[in-house]
Structure 1
């Protein structure tokens, strides 16, 4: 189970404002979005690994242990501590080249990617973790396909697997959007013909699935 240790890793809104005070108008808009994101959600916590001889242990790096756990719950969108730790363990295994070589940098990047999806409940958290996994696997396939010494067969196989994974990712995005809309469908009427005595409805017509 992850435990919190003390180390400053968060950047405050005031720090960001000071850092981006002398920028162009376009850069200012980007900086404002960064500020808004910082105010809307806490930055994802970072992890570190240590080996005490009996096995690896993982700890959250943060100046405040309670805030570190809150940030981790914010990343996953789930309430149960066991569920949070399960997801964190899965992201750790995803980022490791093997379980004897745990990689804190890659794990932190996977956590950050999950945070960008902003899951808000259990199903969204599991789907977000799967989306990160599929994206990583697809990019690995494309990377192997572009290796200079790759064979024609190897390049073709990796490109096919990568393309399949990107289609799966698109389906995951659609599933996430559908879940967030709670099954609500929107029908847009572009052409309306009204007979004498009839009445037209202008705008979108929404209906919820039962």
Structure 2
């Protein structure tokens, strides 16, 4: 996956679509099953699962390189490898990451995966500004009380978590342009809502709970 991005050049005014670049994730292309979010609340193995680690890292690199974000979609819940609001998901048929080179010069991409870490760098002409990305949780919602489903298929009292409960958040991301340490300009990049998720627990019934 990183090999598709590594060495890529993007001309002035050109837009990169990560889905178009990588193509559909299939076993024939060497993609393996890995955990991916399904139905907005569960993790199941899918071909190309885990691709979003590259998607999110590329998204952050593009923000810092002052590129225009044409399209980006956040996950159903925050990723644990990036600050809240700075993730990006990818799905072949309906979710893409598209970034545009709005500078007057080509930009070049470096991407590598080593020891479970994705590293992406974007090279181009130096900017007169230093760019920083700020992520802030502006609202937080408590995790709902889990739903308990009783079954005879488990030993009495034994529980299995079917769906993990999660808090909800509203996260705001801004891109700041600094000169000599002072913020000259600030723009809102995104305001994402991550809805709280009710957990589901399967528990062995004892006769009283049926």
TM-score category of the 2 structures, normalised to the smaller one: under 0.3
Q: Which of the pair is proportionally richer in strand?
A: 2
> TM-score, length-normalised on structure 1?
0.23
The higher radius of gyration belongs to 1
> TM-score, length-normalised on structure 2?
0.23
Q: Which of the pair is proportionally richer in helix?
A: 1
**Higher relative contact order (CA closer than 8 Å, sequence separation 6+):** 2
